[in-house]
Amino acid sequence: MGHELHHLEEFPLFMESLRIVLMGKDFELRLVSLVVRARELADEVVLLDLGSKDETVKLAQKVDCRVVNYSGDVLIPPLANELFEDEPVEQTLLVHVNGRLKLRDLPLLVNRARENWDLHMSFNSAGSDFSNPQEIVYESAEVSHLAASIAGLEALKESKITDTPIELNQDLKVRVLHSKPAPKVQQRESLATASKFAQLFYWMLESKHPLLLFGIPGVVLFFVGYKLSGNVLDTFVEWNETTVGVSLAVIGVTLMGLFAMMVGLILYIMGKQVKQIQSQYNHWPKEE
């Protein structure tokens, strides 16, 4: 609408101060990676805790991340008021840590905060929601992220929860988006993760294991030769050049299978011995 018709000025080369606020609860498994990644992109990282019952707050304290306990409504106006009262900086990026947020999304959100917007906000919505996001009432919307300048926070904190973004001051540069979940694509299971047997088979192929290169062909040849020796040779009633040739071929197949199995076992045992000797050699003290 009218908010997006404003022409943007040139983007600043850098921001004097950027604060990332991680809002959520019970995400202890993701906290450290999010804080570390956020510190690479911002001047300050704050945890806005919504009442965690796990180790989220303790982990944040261990990594020297400031924690702000918040028990109010998780709506844009009261959140903006909390952020404005908590030492407002030039630019603030509020990120709602939920199942949709991926670690790779943080740089993109930081870019939104560094653009010349007074307010850049996104609301979580279903994939089939095609309504105008600027007409969403605050009290019925779940915030996904909010990038705001000091002027933007001040305008939001004065708003009511029954207001909509389109009612903000027309002098502000505002952009509102839907944050829709990524489409679910059914992925094929790879050979390496299909099953334990498939993992073993894949490893044998990659490592050129001797039991695979010699053992399996040896078993096949030995089994075929053994079957032929019992079924084919017993049918011969006289010996001639043809029957002798077939007999020698059957015996050769059987012996080749037996030889291949022995070679596979020998190479496997030798490989184990070589690895053991190498491990011992690596622990020997080296002469100066």
Residue 49 has pLDDT above 60, yes or no: yes
271 and 162 in a common domain = no
**174 beta partners:** 119
How many other CB atoms are there within 10 angstroms of residue 131's CB atom?
9
171 and 61 in a common domain = yes
**Tens-place pLDDT, residues 100-149:** 888 888 998 998 888 889 999 998 876 556 678 888 899 988 899 999 99
Query: What is the average pLDDT across 228-240?
Result: 63
- Predicted model pTM: 0.58
CA distance linking residue 45 with residue 18, whole number of Å: 9
Residue type at position 268: Y
Element (H, E) at 200: helix 196-207
200 and 172 in a common domain = no
CA distance linking residue 37 with residue 109, whole number of Å: 12
Q: Which residue has the higher pLDDT, 261 or 51?
A: 51
What is the structure's pLDDT at 206?
Answer: 58
CA distance linking residue 52 with residue 56, whole number of Å: 6
48 and 161 in a common domain = yes
Torsion of CA 113, 114, 117, 120, to 10 degrees: -20
What is the structure's pLDDT at 119?
Answer: 93
Query: What is the average pLDDT across 85-91?
Result: 83
257 and 167 in a common domain = no
Element (H, E) at 109: helix 106-114
- Please check whether residue 184 lies inside any domain of the structure: no
202 and 168 in a common domain = no
CA distance linking residue 107 with residue 41, whole number of Å: 7
Last residue of a domain, one of 127, 155, 179: 179
Residue 5 has pLDDT above 60, yes or no: no
213 and 133 in a common domain = no
Q: Which residue has the higher pLDDT, 221 or 210?
A: 221
Query: What is the average pLDDT across 23-49?
Result: 93
- Please check whether residue 252 lies inside any domain of the structure: yes
**Tens-place pLDDT, residues 162-184:** 999 999 998 999 999 887 665 55
What is the three-class DSSP state of 178? strand
What domain count does the chain have? 2
**Tens-place pLDDT, residues 245-254:** 767 777 777 7
For 145, phi then psi, to 5°, come to -155, 160
- Please check whether residue 120 lies inside any domain of the structure: yes
What is the three-class DSSP state of 45? strand
Last residue of a domain, one of 179, 214, 243: 179
What is the structure's pLDDT at 286?
Answer: 47
What range does the domain containing 42 cover? Answer: 2-179
Residue type at position 71: S
- Please check whether residue 9 lies inside any domain of the structure: yes
Q: Which of 10-24, 170-184, 204-218 has the lowest mean pLDDT?
A: 204-218
Written as six digits, the tokens of 10 are 């040139």
